Amino acid sequence: MAADRTDPVVGTPHGAVRGRYERGIAVFRGIPYAAPPFGPRRFRPPEPPDPWDGVRDATAFGPTAPKPPYSEAFARYLSDPEIPGDECLNLNVWTPQPDPGARLPVLVWIHGGALTRGSSAVPVYDGSAFARDGVVCVSLNYRLGVEGYGLFPDAPPNAGLRDQFAALRWVHEAIAAFGGDPDRITLCGQSAGAISAGALLAAPQTRGLIRRAVLQSGPPEASDRDKVRRVVRRMAARLKIPATAEAFAAVDRDLLLRAQAEAGRLSGPVLGGPAFGLVVDGDLVPRDPLRALLDGAAPGVELLTGWTRDEYRLWLVPGGLHERVDRIGPVALAGAMARCRVGPEVPRGYRALRPDAGAAETVGQMVTDHLLRVPLHRLADARPGSSYLYEFAWPSNLPGLGACHALELGFVFGTGDLPEARKLAGENAPRALRDAMHAAWVRFATTGNPGWQAWDDSHPVRVFDGGVPYTAYGSLDEAMALWTTASQVPEPAPGGTVRAPGAELAAAVRRLRRSVGALRR
pLDDT in tens, 92-132: 999 999 999 999 999 999 999 999 999 999 999 999 999 99
| Rg of the chain, C-alpha, whole Å | 22
* 240 within a domain of the structure (yes/no): no
Spatial CA neighbour of 203 closest among 111, 293, 300:
293
What total number of domains does the chain contain? 1
76 falls within a domain = yes
pLDDT at 30: 98
User: Is 3 part of any domain?
Assistant: yes
DSSP symbol at 67: -
DSSP codes joined into one string, 171-224 = HHHHGGGGTEEEEEEEEEEETHHHHHHHHHHH-GGGTTT-SEEEEES-------
CA dihedral 275, 491, 201, 386 (to 10 degrees): 130
| Residue 121 CB burial class (10 angstroms; 0-12, 13-18, ≥19) | buried
| pLDDT recorded at residue 201 | 98
| pLDDT at residue 494, rounded to an integer | 35
Q: Does the residue 426 lie in any domain?
A: no
Q: With contact defined as beta carbons under 8 Å apart, do 393 and 382 qualify?
A: no
Report how far apart, in Å, the C-alpha atoms of 75 and of each of 36, 80, 192, 420 are. Answer: 28, 8, 18, 10
| Range with the poorest average pLDDT among 68-82, 107-121, 259-273, 339-353 | 259-273
461 within a domain of the structure (yes/no): no
Full domain range(s) for residue 145: 1-207+281-288
In whole angstroms, what is the distance from residue 371 CA to residue 219 CA? Answer: 7
Which spans in 278-328 are helix H? Answer: 289-294, 312-316, 321-327
Q: Is 246 a catalytic residue?
A: no
Give the count of beta carbons closer than 10 Å to the beta carbon of residue 233. 15
Least Cα distance to 337 among 318, 362, 308 occurs for 362
Over residues 208-259, the pLDDT tens digits come to 999 999 999 999 999 999 999 999 999 999 999 999 999 999 999 999 999 9
In a domain, 113, yes or no: yes
Asked if residue 212 lies in contact with residue 478, where contact means CB atoms within 8 angstroms, the answer is: no
Residue-wise pLDDT for 452-474, tens only, equals 999 999 999 999 998 899 999 99
CATH number at residue 146: 3.40.50.1820
Tell me, yes or no, whether 231 lies in a domain.
no
Angle ∠(251,253,257) on CA atoms, nearest 5: 105
Q: Is residue 155 part of a domain?
A: yes
- Among residues 111, 172, 377, 405, the one annotated as catalytic is 405
Q: How many CB atoms are located within 10 Å of the residue 444 CB?
A: 24
pLDDT above 70 for 28: yes
Please tell me whether residue 365 adopts helix, strand or coil conformation.
helix
**Where does the pLDDT of residue 269 fall: very low under 50, low under 70, confident under 90, or very high at 90 and above?**
low
pLDDT above 50 for 499: no
Residue 331 has pLDDT above 70, yes or no: no
Give residues with Cβ within 8 angstroms of 405, minimum separation 6: 191, 217, 308, 311, 312, 313, 314, 315
Catalytic residue among 147, 302, 311, 408: 311
Active site residue 386: no
The amino acid sitting at 456 is D
Contacts of 255 (CB under 8 A, 6+ apart): 239
Active-site residue (options: 119, 139, 191, 196)? 191
User: In the prediction, which pLDDT does 498 show?
Assistant: 35
pLDDT, tens digit, 9 for 90 and up, residues 256-267: 999 999 887 766
Angle at which helix 477-484 crosses helix 345-353, to 10 degrees, equals 170
Tell me the C-alpha distance between 300 and 345, whole Å.
38
Mean pLDDT score, 269-294 = 87
CA distance 161 to 200: 8
Q: How many residues does the chain have?
A: 521
pLDDT digits (tens, 9 = 90+) for 421-445: 999 999 999 999 999 999 999 999 9
pLDDT reading at 199 higher than 80? yes
Residue 335's pLDDT is what?
Answer: 73
DSSP lists the bridge partners of residue 95 as 26
Contact call for residues 412 and 450 (beta carbons, < 8 A)? no
CA distance 475 to 460: 8
pLDDT at 493: 38
Question: For the whole prediction, is pTM greater than 0.95?
Answer: no
In 3D space, the residue among 149, 90, 147, 161 whose CA is nearest the CA of residue 119 turns out to be: 90
Reported as type and span, the H/E element at residue 514 is: helix 503-520
What is the average pLDDT across 139-144? 98
pLDDT higher than 90, residue 486 = no
